[in-house]
Amino acid sequence: MSKNLGELSGRKGLKANLFEALGIAAAGTGTPSVEKMEALAGEFLMGKANIFGTASFYDFLKEDNKGKKVFVCNGSACMTAGTQDSLREKLSTQFNADEIGEMCCLGRCYQNSAFNYAGKNYSGSAGDQIEEIKNQKSKVSDEYHVASYGTPVLTQAFTHVNEYYKILATALSQSPEALLAELKESGLRGRGGAGFPIAFKLDSCRNSAGRQKFIVCNADEGDPGAYSDRYLMEQQPHSVLLGMMIAGYIAGADTGVLYIRAEYPESQEIIQDAINHLLDENLLGENILGSGFNFNFKLIRAMGAYICGEETALLSSIEGQRPEVRVRPPYPTQQGLFNKPTVVNNVETLACIPYIIKNGGKQFASIGIGKSTGTKLVSLDGFFNRPGIYEVDMGTPLAVVIDELGGGFKQNIKAMHIGGPLGGLVPVEKIKDLAVDFESFSKNGFLLGHASVVCIPQNFPVIKYLQHLFEFTAHESCGKCFPCRIGSTRGYEMIKKAQETEYKIDRNLMNDLIETLEIGSLCALGGGLPLPVKNALQYFEEELSPYFK
């Protein structure tokens, strides 16, 4: 059924996009009306239930969003910082309770106290200027440390479009096969969490039959604590766009789609401005630089759903379907967007490509350690003395990142959640054993993932953090598979009950639950949740013991 719906949605391609139309229909009130949804069902030849099923899934399309004017960040970093209750009180002086909603992680983890108003994100002391912000008398402040330790692949200062896009001219003067060989030699692996080689995806897409192919940038950076993709989109947008264009040339794709999360409105604006700049410089469209290569971009503004960070759910979302995870095979490189061959990669991965084409795969491979080549962006939250984005060579000791770059902790910390909600829960005593690379984290029972760092202070109960993780997963599950949909809810219920009543959790029951999640879930949402739970049970057994039999 989903393939048929994909074909129906694809009739109009990306110019008249169903998902985009739903967002436009919701713009006035926060949710599309029944009349507008019925009209879209007729226009796109979809069932009314399909349209309603899609709209009712997303945080910023569903009926609950109606009338909301300001949104408080409920991400992990703001939660452990303990800033949001006070922020809500300040917002309540200017907004009614039913006008205040929630967003999950605005990428302001370095300041906390984050909220969104009128399409702009705010944090830090902005909560004390609510009235001025409403009256448009206060400017948006967004400053954080950015530095590199080793080789600046992604943090180099940008020069000028015409200068920077000489890399594109170099790429177009070579064969796609030659560029693919450079990427293979570079060893570039996906920076979104999975660590999958990008050259393999591009090669697979290139060898798949079909005249229409897509390069999709997964900019749905929903991991609370991570804001490295936001940094790239807002401060290095052309590294992302150029990376997509070169990927398109290699794979035989003429269209790049950027799916940017709703919680990053500034990223959406800056990326669109950068695309317009390329159009003005005649660096997009047909026969680019006289090479015969055609390429255009389409920006899709997401509507609030963490599961869309999973590549197949993201593709269903663009098609206007409910963003449920697809069973694989077939893989997106064979049947992706509108059932056409598609390569999906995250922002940071694509942004590495221009450096590789300019300097060679061998140079990129010489940075890092073992199979973890190149550099990695690390996001440090507000518990550090110098929070911000730091680019480090793969293999850099974690202690260097924390003590030298981050300036150490502002207060006593007992653990760090690294790699997003599905990453490992790292006790501070393990810092000395870890380096920023895939193998080091895996060997020690953790996951590097997005390399975001959310600190858990000594006074924050680990049991409360586990409740947060189960609740997050239950809310964000696409609902397609039972282990994730039901298992996350049961985990949340058990942990909540153990804190509020005399109930004690059976350890065997918890072990069975997380095993079922781990091996039975369709994607990494349900499958990844058990990792931080197991880490907590291993390293914080004494603290958690009062809640277990």
- Over residues 393-403, the mean pLDDT reads 98
Residue 12 has pLDDT above 80, yes or no: no
- Give the pair of three-digit tokens for residue 383: 């518990």
pLDDT at position 136 is: 83
Domain containing 541 — which CATH number? 1.20.1440.230
| Distance, CA of 311 to CA of 86 (rounded, Å) | 36
Phi-psi region of 288 (alpha: psi -120 to 50; beta: other; left: phi over 0): beta
Mean pLDDT of the chain: 95
Q: What is the predicted pLDDT for the residue at 9?
A: 80
Terminal CA-to-CA distance of the chain, rounded, Å? 46
Percent of the chain residues topping a pLDDT of 70:
99
**At residue 172, does pLDDT exceed 90?**
yes
Residue 360: pLDDT band by 50, 70, 90 thresholds?
very high
pLDDT tens digits, one per residue of 199-213: 999 999 999 999 999
Percent of the chain past pLDDT 90, that is, above it, reads: 92
Q: Is residue 382 assigned to a domain?
A: no
Q: How many residues does the chain have?
A: 549
- Residue 11 confidence (pLDDT) above 90: no
CA–CA separation, 504 and 498 (whole Å) = 6
Q: How confident is the model at residue 177 (pLDDT cuts 50, 70, 90)?
A: very high
Strands 368-369 and 342-346: unpaired
DSSP 400-448: IIIIIIS-SBSS-EEEEEESSTTSEEEEGGGGGG-BSSHHHHHHTT---
Q: Work out the pLDDT band at 5, boundaries 50, 70, 90.
A: confident
Distance of alpha carbon 61 from alpha carbon 355, whole angstroms: 39
Determine, yes or no, domain membership for 434.
Answer: no
Are residues 135 and 104 both part of a single domain? yes
Task: Please report whether residue 507 resides in a domain.
Answer: yes
Class of residue 439 by CB neighbours under 10 A (exposed 0-12, middle 13-18, buried 19+):
middle
The verdict on 157 and 139 lying in the same domain is no
Same-domain status, 188 and 329: yes
pLDDT in tens, 250-298: 999 999 999 999 999 999 999 999 999 999 999 999 999 999 999 999 9
**What average pLDDT does the segment 444-466 reach?**
96
In the chain, what is the greatest distance between 2 CA atoms, to the nearest angstrom?
Answer: 73
- For residues 185 and 278, membership in a common domain is answered with yes
With a cut of 90, say whether residue 4 has pLDDT above it: no
DSSP assignments along 295-356, one per residue:
BEEEEEE--S-GGGGSHHHHHHHHTTS--PPPPSSSPTTTS-GGGS-EEEEEHHHHHHHHHH
Does residue 42 sit in the same domain as residue 104? no
Above 90 in pLDDT, residue 36?
yes
Q: What is the mean pLDDT of residues 314-330?
A: 94
Exposure string of 362-372, with b = 16+ CB inside 10 Å and e = fewer, is ebbbebbbeeb
Check whether 3 has a pLDDT greater than 80.
no
- pLDDT at position 111 over 50: yes
Indicate whether 424 belongs to any domain.
Answer: no
* Weakest mean pLDDT among 10-19, 102-111, 311-320, 449-458: 10-19
What Cα–Cα distance (Å) separates residue 112 from each residue in 171, 179, 198, 224?
42, 42, 34, 12
pLDDT at 92 over 90: yes
Q: Which domain holds residue 23?
A: 2-65
Hey, which residues does 189 pair with through a beta bridge? 197
Total structural domains in the chain? Answer: 4
Q: Are residues 165 and 126 in the same domain?
A: no
The verdict on 160 and 135 lying in the same domain is no
- Residues 466, 324 share a domain: no
Residue 194: is its pLDDT beyond 90? no
Residues 175 and 291 in one domain: yes
Name the residue with higher pLDDT: 69 or 143: 69
37 and 80 inside one domain: no
d(CA 534, CA 187): 31
CA atoms within 13 A on the CB side of 218: 30
Among 65, 80, 103, the domain boundary falls at: 65
Do 283 and 159 share a domain, yes or no?
A: yes
Q: 37 — phi, psi (to 5°)?
A: -65, -40
pLDDT surpasses 60 at 1? no
Q: For position 104, which CATH number holds? A: 3.40.30.10
At position 94, the amino acid (one-letter code) is Q
pLDDT at 461 over 60: yes
